[in-house]
Structure 1
Amino acid sequence: MDTGFDEKSWDGAPVGRHAWINTISMHGMLCRLDAYRSGASAFNTARAGQTDIMNGDFAWQSVSPITHRDTPRWNGEHLFVKVVKSGVMSVEQRGQTTRFGPGHIAVIDPLHTFNESFCEPTRLTILRIPKSALRERGLRYRFPMACCPDPASPDVAAVREFVLHLGSQTGKASDALLVRLGDQCLDLMDVLVNNRHGAANGRASAATVLRAKQLIARRIGDPELSVIRIAAELNISISCLTRALKASGVSPMRYAWSMRLEHATRLLAGAPQGAIQEVAYQCGFASAAHFSRAFKERYGMTPREYAAHQRTAHGDAPEPMQDAQRTETA
């Protein structure tokens, strides 16, 4: 039986012990509650662009990824960035246990088995980040072991405060501002996930690609974005910029166009009817007509058709739909 000392809530709604466990399992995680001790727990979720923001209170319980065949297919497509605000979180992985106290950050890949335990009331801010967003920015996105950024580093501390600020704005800031803050947070993830002592990150070309992709992501809505402007802002030559990106398989503006159209699919998925022109401008297109032509060439359907398809499909992923549409129009 739940007591006042064992209150649990999910997005503000009270839930019992079994409902708490079942709800967490729907998010791809197995939860075990201590049979002898209990405490109040709460979990609140919000969205900031591509990033899910979660503020959680946990007490005397453990969680681990569901690894059997019924695991949600998306479970390994994201990383968790967890900032401990108070209490202690212990992470056991591959026979090693790491304790994270207030101010510590853990970057965890649910593709690799781990067990988190909370043996006292603990408060976290959690980001659930798609690995694709890190790949787009040239960042590391695979972690066989939990990544532990140095909390004493001034840069890590600055990013930690930004993550906590983002978490504090859920339910306060507008959805549009949360999207912008979420994108800025993604641009800062290199401070947490990249091994700055590794040889690969010491190479000038890799650093150039990373900086260029971050700049393009920040300026995705700027219709004046060009190779000249990118190179000027990065303080490198156009040839150096082009050579570095072509070595990774893309040209600067082809990459920018690709990111603009992918950003458009995310905006269209939740856009009201008649918002095509606004989406076009937010993605850096000079006109809705230009946007529609480019979008149809890429995805095989107009933005309006895509938005309607998304509403009908209740948020299915864009890739399967674009393949199906191409099959229909082939």
Structure 2
Amino acid sequence: MHFDTHEITFDTGLSAGERWSHIMLNSHGLQCAFDPRQSIDSTVKSWTLGEVGVSLADLATQTLSPVGEELPSWQGGWLFVKLVTEGHVHVQSRGLVERFDAGSMFIIDPVYPFVEVFPERARMTVLRVPKERLRERGVYRSSAGPLVGDALSPDVRATCDLIQCIARQSTAPSVIAQNMMGEQLLELIEFAMIDPGARSKRRCPEALIHQTKRYIESHLGEAGLDVAAIASGVHVSSQHLQRLFRVKGMSLMRYLWQARLERAGLLLRTRGAHDSSIQEIAWQCGFTTAAHFSRLFKRQYGVSPSDFRFTVNQL
């Protein structure tokens, strides 16, 4: 299902309820019941940061429930992380009703039926997180009911504050910044919301490969980055790490050079980087010389870095 950038207000127009229901169903996978009079001025603003969907919701007198997998807007591939910032919401699941007041944080899986009731006006920040990305981190936990963050935990409180800070950045300065913010949100959720027992699974092959890719991503500018440095950074032997990548059909060093070239291509596409020389971009991506960078870049993309930048700039 496509989660697009949108902003909608429940106004007094004749078709306001129809438009609202359409957005909630097709963009959020939610059935919505509302009071045409008391739900006035409810708003939802949504956008994406990398692979994470972000929504700021101001809802009054509404009831929301996830659609089933028979509909194309089913959200079964995602988890929802919800922060109540004002008011309160009641969540009904498994025959139980839980109340979440301002300051609460919980995860809910739309695979399982639930009903959210907003008896009065409340505000929430909602993150739409791909389950696949959490599995890559060794996190497999799900639940038929809300997974509730410990409001007394300093980690959870700090996570809520950081999520709110990132969520306020509805327009990031570049695609790179948006992707970095999305990755940071995933890191925060993994750290604060998953119980310690689940963290022991992070060293499974999939999680270790993902950890390695994150390490490479954050050290791409280091010209001396090699197999030994990467293995040391993720605390495993070089042989074991290379073997894990071979099982996945790739070479560790090949992945490193590919990541460097992709970062370079992204920088060349970014208007804010147009003042940087080809040599400077090469250095930022871990290449020691512009000649080596240009040779590998042309082999990958079929054109030189300069021609690539010129072509993109004309679009």
Q: TM-score, normalised by structure 1?
A: 0.67
RMSD of equivalent CA atoms: 4.1
Q: d(CA) in 1 for partners of 2:71 and 2:201?
A: 42
Structure 2 unmatched runs, 5+: 1-5, 288-292, 303-307
Structure-2 change in CA distance of 1:143 and 1:101 (3 Å): same
Q: d(CA) in 2 for partners of 1:138 and 1:203?
A: 5
8 Å contact 1:260–1:283 — kept in the other structure? no
1:216 to 213, 218, 222: 213
Are residues 1:93 and 2:93 paired? Answer: yes
Q: d(CA) in 2 for partners of 1:195 and 1:283?
A: 37
Q: d(CA) in 2 for partners of 1:256 and 1:97?
A: 48
Code of the aligned partner of 2:252? M
Within 5 Å, give how 1:107-256 maps onto structure 2.
107-140=107-140, 142-171=142-171, 173-198=173-198, 201-202=199-200, 205-206=203-204, 210=207, 213-214=210-211, 216-217=213-214, 219-220=216-217, 222=220, 224=223, 225-235=225-235, 237-238=237-238, 253=252
Match of 2:32? 31
Are residues 1:69 and 2:79 paired? Answer: no
Structure-2 change in CA distance of 1:50 and 1:39 (3 Å): same
Q: d(CA) in 1 for partners of 2:62 and 2:161?
A: 27
Q: Deviations over 1:208-227 (max 9, x none)?
A: 97476335325426165433
Q: d(CA) in 1 for partners of 2:203 and 2:133?
A: 20
CA positional deviation for 1:40? 2.5
Q: d(CA) in 2 for partners of 1:68 and 1:204?
A: 29
Structure-2 change in CA distance of 1:293 and 1:82 (3 Å): farther
CA positional deviation for 1:85? 0.7
Q: d(CA) in 2 for partners of 1:153 and 1:46?
A: 29
Q: d(CA) in 2 for partners of 1:101 and 1:17?
A: 27
8 Å contact 2:33–2:63 — kept in the other structure? yes
Structure-2 change in CA distance of 1:44 and 1:237 (3 Å): same
CA positional deviation for 1:146? 2.1
Q: d(CA) in 2 for partners of 1:146 and 1:295?
A: 46
Range that drifts further, 226-235 or 48-57 = 226-235
Structure-2 change in CA distance of 1:281 and 1:183 (3 Å): farther
Q: Deviations over 1:128-186 (max 9, x none)?
A: 12222222222236443321121211112222111101111113654432321221221
CA positional deviation for 1:37? 3.9
8 Å contact 1:140–1:193 — kept in the other structure? no
Q: d(CA) in 2 for partners of 1:93 and 1:255?
A: 48
**Secondary structure of the residue that 1:18 maps to in structure 2?**
helix
8 Å contact 1:39–1:121 — kept in the other structure? no
CA positional deviation for 1:67? 0.9
Q: Kindly name which structure, 1 or 2, has the bigger radius of gyration based on alpha carbons.
A: 2
Q: Deviations over 1:279-299 (max 9, x none)?
A: x97995854664676689xxx
Q: d(CA) in 1 for partners of 2:162 and 2:211?
A: 17
